[in-house]
Amino acid sequence: MTTAIRRFNGIIKELNVSGATKGSLSGLKFVAKDLFDVKGEVTGIGNPTWAKTHGPALANAWAVDRVLNAGATLVGKSCSDEFAFSVDGINVHFGAPDNPQYPDRIAGGSSSGSGSAVAAGLVDFALGTDTGGSIRVPASYCGIYGFRPSHGRIPVDGVVPLAPLLDAVGWFARNSLILETVGSVLLNENRSAVFPKKLLIARDTFELISKRLKPAVEKAVEAFASKFAQAQDVHLEPYGWEGHAKLYRVFQGRQAWKIYGDWITQNDPYMCPSIKERFDFTKTVTEKDFEDATEFRNRIVSGFAELLAGDTVLCMPTTSDLPPLIDASEEDLLRNRARNMNLTGVAPLARVPEVCVPIPLTEKTTTGLSFLASHGNDMMLLNLCRGLLQS
C-alpha cells in the first residue's frame, strides 16, 4: 500500500453479551466478524456506506446464538475486509489488524480482526467467514488454528453473504481443544473417536510454496505422515486443480455481483481500490460463464468425493509464503492473493472441510499446514487436529 496504514487490535466495537450460565464454552470469550448480526448492532461488513444504509440487526446470527447458548461471552465485533472480498487484512476505513507474530506484516483477511484478536490472546476463539480463504489465510499468517467446515454444514442465517455457493461460517481458536469444542457446538455433533487411516500428500501443491517455507513444511509433513497407517503422494491435476483458480474467480464473481451490484450502482460507495477492481470484474461475468463454471465445479466436487472417500485426509500447504509486509504494493498483494488462491480455492470448490494448524518455522514463528477431509467428516478432521498437535 502506498499510504500509511493504521494498525489496531482488530476489534471495531467492544461488547459484553453474556452467554448461558452453563455449557461447554462456559468461561470463554469470543468476537464475531462484522458480517454476523448482533441484535441491536449495525452489521457494517467493513464499509461505512453499507453501515449508513442499513439499520441495526433485529436478532443474532444463528452461529452467535449457538455459542452464546453454550456459555461463551461475546466481547466485540471484529474487523472485516470490505464485503469480505479480500484476503489481505487491510481495511481502508478502519486500518489493518495486528499480526502478533509478524508485527511488520499483514494479518490476512477477510476475517482479519477475528484472527488478530485470537492470536493476541484477547479472546479464546472467534467467529469468521471463509469464502476463498478468509479463515485459513489469517490462521496461517497469525500462527493459530482455523477451521472451514463442509459447505452447508453450519447455518448462515444472519450472516451477510458474498457468494452463497462458497460461503461458510468458520472459526479460529487459541488451541486445538477449543477449536474442537467450538466445532462440536456449531456442528451439533459429539467429538469423534475416529483417527483417519490414510494420509494423501498433494505433492503438486507443495511446489507452490516459497523456498523459505519449504524445509519446515516438508519436515512437518514427514513427521505427521509417520502417525498414519498409510501415507502416499498424490497429484491434484487429475481433479481439475490446474484450472480451478480461474474457475473460482468466475464462480464467485457472478454470485457477488448479483448480491451487491444494484446496491453498489445506487450508492457508489468508496472502497479499497483493489476490491473495487474485483467488483468491476464481477459485472462482466455472464450467465453462460457462470453455467460453465458450475459444471466444472460439479466435476471437482465429484472428483474430491472419490479422492477423499473413507477415513482419508489430504495434506497441503495453507499459504504460499510469509505474509506480505504491511506496506506492500498493490501489485505485490495481488500476486500474493493469486498464489494463495491456488491453495485456498480447493476446499470451497470441492465443498469439503479444511483445518489449518500452525507448524514451527523458526523458534518464534509458524506457518500453516492444512488437512482436508470428505464432505461431512468435519469432526474426524477436528479429532485429527487435536491428535496431531495436542495443545
Distance, in Å, from the CA atom of 217 to the CA atom of 221, rounded to the nearest integer, reads 6
> What pTM, to 2 d.p., does this model score?
0.97
Question: Of these residues, 78, 80, 110, 111, which one is catalytic?
Answer: 110
Q: 192 catalytic, yes or no?
A: no
* pLDDT interval class at 391 (50, 70, 90): very low
Enter the CATH code of domain 7-239+296-388.
3.90.1300.10
Query: Residue 2: what pLDDT?
Result: 43
Cell of 71: 456459555
Segments making up each domain of the chain, as ranges: 7-239+296-388
* pLDDT interval class at 291 (50, 70, 90): very high
Q: Is the pLDDT of residue 116 over 90?
A: yes
Query: Residue 241: what pLDDT?
Result: 74
Query: Residue 1: what pLDDT?
Result: 45
* pLDDT interval class at 238 (50, 70, 90): confident
Query: Residue 3: what pLDDT?
Result: 56
DSSP state letters, 327-359? T--HHHHHHHHHHHHHHHTHHHHHT--EEEEEE
Question: Of these residues, 111, 114, 134, 184, which one is catalytic?
Answer: 134
Q: Could you report the per-residue pLDDT of 310-344, keeping only the tens digit for each?
A: 899 999 999 999 999 999 999 999 999 999 999 99
C-beta of residue 376 within 8 angstroms of C-beta of residue 153: yes
Question: Of these residues, 33, 112, 140, 150, which one is catalytic?
Answer: 33
The fraction of the chain above a pLDDT of 70, given in percent, is 98
Cα-Cα-Cα-Cα torsion 239, 245, 251, 257, nearest 10 degrees, comes to 170
Q: 374 catalytic, yes or no?
A: no
| Average pLDDT of the segment spanning 201-220 | 96
Q: 33 catalytic, yes or no?
A: yes
Query: Residue 239: what pLDDT?
Result: 82
DSSP summary character for residue 39:
B
The fraction of the chain above a pLDDT of 90, given in percent, is 93
